[in-house]
Amino acid sequence: MGRLLEVKGLTTRFYTQDGVVHAVNGVSFHVDEGETLGIVGESGCGKSVTVLSCMRLIPQPPGKIVAGEVLFNGRDLLKVSEDEIRQVRGNKIAMIFQDPMTSLNPVLTIGRQISEALELHLGMTREQARKRSIELLKMVGIPEAEKRIDDYPHQFSGGMRQRAMIAMALSCNPQLLIADEPTTFLDVTIQAQIIDIVKRLKKELGMTVIWITHDLGIIAGIADRVIVMYAGYLVEEAPVKELYGDPRHPYTIGLLGSVPRLDEERKERLTSIEGLPPDQINMPPGCPFAPRCAYAIERCLEENPSLRTVAPHHKIACWVDLKSGQVSKSAS
Amino acid sequence: MARKDDILVEVKNLKKYFPITRGIIFQRHVGDIKAVDGVSFFIRRGETLGLVGESGCGKTTTGRTILQLYRPTAGEVFFEGQNLCEMKGEKLRRMRKKMQMIFQDPYASLNPRMTVGNIIGEPLEVHNIAKGKEKMERVQELLRIVGLNPYFINRYPHEFSGGQRQRIGIARALALNPSFIICDEPISSLDVSIQAQIMNLLEDLQEKFGLTYLFIAHDLAVVRHVSDRVAVMYLGKLVELTDRDTLYREPLHPYTKALLSAVPIPDPFVEEKRERIILVGDVPSPANPPSGCRFHTRCPLVMDICKEEEPEFRDVGGEHWVACHRV
């Protein structure tokens, strides 16, 4: 199993009238072939900007990728030409977005939108592309695909539009599928359908997936490994069972404690994380989570911890080791 | 703990239809969106009734119709034994002191041109309860109650985060000392860690002030956490209503079961063993609901009678109401 994507020290900023927004700060992670990486975090933590930066979809200005490497199949996507990255997008790396209504073109039929990628990237003729588009719609479970292919997005329901997006994304057999909060706007029973389709297709096509969400329940069901982001930083990385069974970063612990679970005995009171995320224009020195952290020590307010390994494949950005109660002396 | 016979709100066969018209100059009434189509339930003083369902099921419309923000197409709403549907003008306005709403969108439900102090204080002025200095003192007290610094009284909504704005909305709802508050998806637009803060706050306030809540939401795990009893809605009708523990442990209606099975659980060990009931197809349109049982087009247990006859919403024992031919 090779390493499909390797992101090193990605840093993205937005230069606005109010100041410089530190959206992504030195984020490093990798995705291996065939696995599903979950990126979890609340709004504003930088999870979307991270993947959009990898795909060079950040408008520059006001955005700017100031540092980092994004190695895909060995090539740094941040350094290749415009033509070369366009050949990657929609072809080798495909994305599905949160709101299918705004990411589908309302004046083109669903069929045209799927065919577009097939004609452009795979050089198919109109007829070949249409045939393949119908196959793709069937694959994602759209009933009466031969008729529905000529419908416009507004004639599809939310769940169907998202399935059409998936069909579009998969049309050129991408190596990597990035799903950015694809089910946030969907009802829970439709969400279950979409997750089911992605899981099934992942198995059938051997796809590698990055799934971004704030929903800890979805991550638990779909991810092999998880990274947790906060204020543009990566704060914890672990295999999924490790993360939920033995979370080590105070933010992750707080987050897991604040989510009510359907299967457990009802807790009397949810643990909530007091306070608010930091202002990413004027970031305080030290760890971005320190002001809200129940375990913060003086060092946390002064020095921003770097990622260190606390268990096999398990890393956290934290000075305090909650398990042993020891404070990290080194910055390894 | 709510007494068995102390019913604060009673809804009887409530209907709210929105007309569909066609034509530009002469508008013809060609049909109705049957958003709420015959809903009946009661809420006891001091309890929290959760109302859950997916988008378009009619739960928000139900909440607004109960408060007479929409006038019902048919049916009755009794509050403290009085029929709200028969009231209007000053009489209804005075009832509004006792029943309030917290809205879903903390960005849309606060007037951006009013200070926080005026937003929360407005009800006090409108109902002639307090003015001037007294009003300001009461507003500051309310800010403290919801966990905000009273110093914020002269700030504008845009200066606050989503969670803080929601607290302002709660303070506004509490201003008149209501006995009944409808919480319409109060936390769904907030981040996970803030959701817990607001849920805890709502629970504390209920205990402190003896409030009765109708908690409308689509997130089943959240509803379970806050409710005493839960009602499930589908396409304008109630399909199941019972106490919280029974609903989550022994649901009877196929839709409730599918809904529960679709909710992701934040635990990978549990998730990998779970058996999902995946419903086929989309939710039908409320302008053209299916015949018979509305759920029959997606029901894994559908029988012939389901397509023809609507099942009755009846108590099958222990105050557990279900509408299903299979039960």
Contacts of B152 (CB under 8 A, 6+ apart): B116, B143, B160
Contacts of A288 (CB under 8 A, 6+ apart): A230, A231, A232, A233, A277, A278, A304
Q: Choose the closest CB to B264 out of A143, A217, A274.
A: A217
Percent residues over pLDDT 70 in chain A: 97
* Interchain contact, A262 vs B282, CB within 8 Å: no
| Closest chain B C-alpha to A264 CA, distance in angstroms | 10
Chain B residues within 8 A of A240 when measuring between CB atoms: 268
In this complex, do B262 and A244 lie within 8 Å of one another by their Cβ atoms? Answer: no
Query: Is residue A183 classed exposed, middle or buried when 0-12, 13-18 and 19+ CB atoms within 10 A define those classes?
Result: buried
Reported in sequence order, the residue ranges of chain A that DSSP labels E, i.e. its strands, are 3-16, 19-32, 36-40, 63-72, 75-76, 93-96, 176-180, 208-213, 225-230, 233-239, 308-311, 314-316, 320-321, 326-327
Predicted pLDDT of residue B3: 53
Q: Are A220 and A137 in contact (CB under 8 A)?
A: no
Give the residue carrying structure tokens 């990255």.
Answer: A85
β-strands A208-213, A36-40 pairing: parallel
Q: How far apart are CA A77 and CA B58, in angstroms?
A: 48
Handedness of CA A105, A110, A114, A115 (dihedral sign): negative
Angle separating helix axes B116-126 and B162-174, nearest 10 degrees: 20
Q: Residue A329: pLDDT band by 50, 70, 90 thresholds?
A: low
pLDDT tens for chain B, 327 residues long, are 445 579 999 999 999 999 888 888 888 888 889 999 999 999 999 999 999 998 889 999 999 999 999 999 999 999 999 999 999 899 999 999 999 999 988 888 999 999 999 999 999 999 999 989 999 999 999 999 999 999 999 999 999 888 899 999 999 999 999 999 999 999 887 888 888 889 999 999 999 999 999 999 988 889 988 999 999 999 999 999 999 999 999 999 999 999 999 899 999 999 888 888 888 877 888 888 999 999 999 999 999 999 999 999 999 999 999 999 998
Query: Is A261–B267 a contact, with Cβ atoms under 8 angstroms apart?
Result: yes
Interface of A with B in 166-195 (CB under 8 A): 187-193, 195
Summarised one tens digit per residue, pLDDT across range A34-92 is: 999 999 998 889 999 999 999 999 998 899 999 999 999 889 999 999 999 999 998 89
Please give the average per-residue pLDDT across A222-237, as a whole number. Answer: 96
Contacts of A42 in chain B (CB under 8 A): 191-193
Residues 169 to 188 of B: which have CB under 8 A from any A CB? none
Name the residue facing A221 among B161, B271, B278 (closest C-beta): B271
Task: Measure in Å the smallest separation between the Cα of A160 and chain B Cα atoms.
Answer: 8
Rounded CA separation B243/B248 (Å)? 9
Q: Which of residues 59-118 of A touch B (CB under 8 A)?
A: none
Nearest-angstrom CA–CA distance, B302 and A150: 32
DSSP conformational letter for B28: E
Q: Which two tokens stand for residue B55?
A: 């988008």
Contact A262 B192 (CB under 8 A): no
- CB under 8 Å to A67, separation ≥6 — which residues? A9, A10, A11, A26
Residue A253 has pLDDT above 70, yes or no: yes
Of A191, A262, A266, the CB nearest to B265: A262
Nearest residue on chain A to B222, alpha-carbon basis: A260
Residue A265's pLDDT band, with cuts at 50, 70 and 90, is confident
Selected for mutation to probe chain B from A37, A189, A293 (highest B CB count within 10 Å) is A189
The C-alpha atoms of residue A327 and residue A319 are separated, in whole angstroms, by 6
CA distances (Å), B214 to each of A109, A188, B120, B190, in order?
A: 43, 21, 21, 19
Q: What pLDDT was estimated at residue A331?
A: 42
Whether the CB-CB separation of A223 and A240 falls below 8 Å is answered with yes
State the pLDDT at residue B16: 96
User: Is the Cβ of B243 closer than 8 Å to some Cβ of chain A?
Assistant: no
The beta-carbon neighbor of A271 closest among B55, B196, B218 is: B196
- Rounded to 5°, angle at Cα B140 from B135 and B144: 145
**SS3 of B221, please?**
helix
pLDDT of residue B209: 94
> What pLDDT does residue B1 have?
46
Partner B contacted by A150 (CB < 8 A) = no
Q: What is the DSSP string of A147-187?
A: HHTT--GGGS-HHHHHHHHHHHHHTT--SEEEEESTTTTS-
Which of B161, B196, B261 is the closest to A276 by Cβ? B161
- At position A155, the amino acid (one-letter code) is Q
How close, in Å, is residue B202 to chain A by CA atoms? Answer: 11
Three-class secondary structure of residue B229 per DSSP: strand
Residues of A in contact with B192 (CB under 8 A): 42, 214, 216, 255, 258-259
Residues in chain A closer than 8 A to B270 (CB atoms): 220, 263
